[in-house]
Amino acid sequence: MCLALYLAAPRPLTTVSSPVLQVERMRGRGWPGDLFGGEQQYRLMGGCACLLLDDTDDEAAAEREAVLAELTAYLMTATEQGPVHALVCWGGDEHKAADTDS
């Protein structure tokens, strides 16, 4: 099972396709109902963001740091233009009710 990372915003976000970071606009809804209303929805990392977990081996550390740096820069730019919502879940759990207690 993979870690999934999604973004939603009330405006279009920049799509990215680089060796380090991928941000793609989703066709249709990535999650049910009005979790983020009618906002634009995006999938990051091609649907698998497991590299962001800090439990990978040391060989992946440099790649993880590069992804985190580019993701941080992307989010800093995106949030300058207004709010951006993030959904982080295990792949396949997108349609489950959110756990807001943790």
Phi, psi of 49 (to 5 degrees): -110, 25
**Above 60 in pLDDT, residue 34?**
no
Q: Write down the domain spans for the chain.
A: 3-90
More confident residue, 99 or 5: 5
Res. 5 pLDDT band, cuts 50 70 90: confident
User: Bridge-partner residues for 8, per DSSP?
Assistant: 41, 85
DSSP secondary structure letter of residue 93: -
Res. 63 pLDDT band, cuts 50 70 90: confident
**In this predicted structure, what is the pLDDT of residue 74?**
95
**Above 80 in pLDDT, residue 95?**
no
Give dist(CA 48, CA 50) in Å, integer.
6
Give dist(CA 29, CA 38) in Å, integer.
9
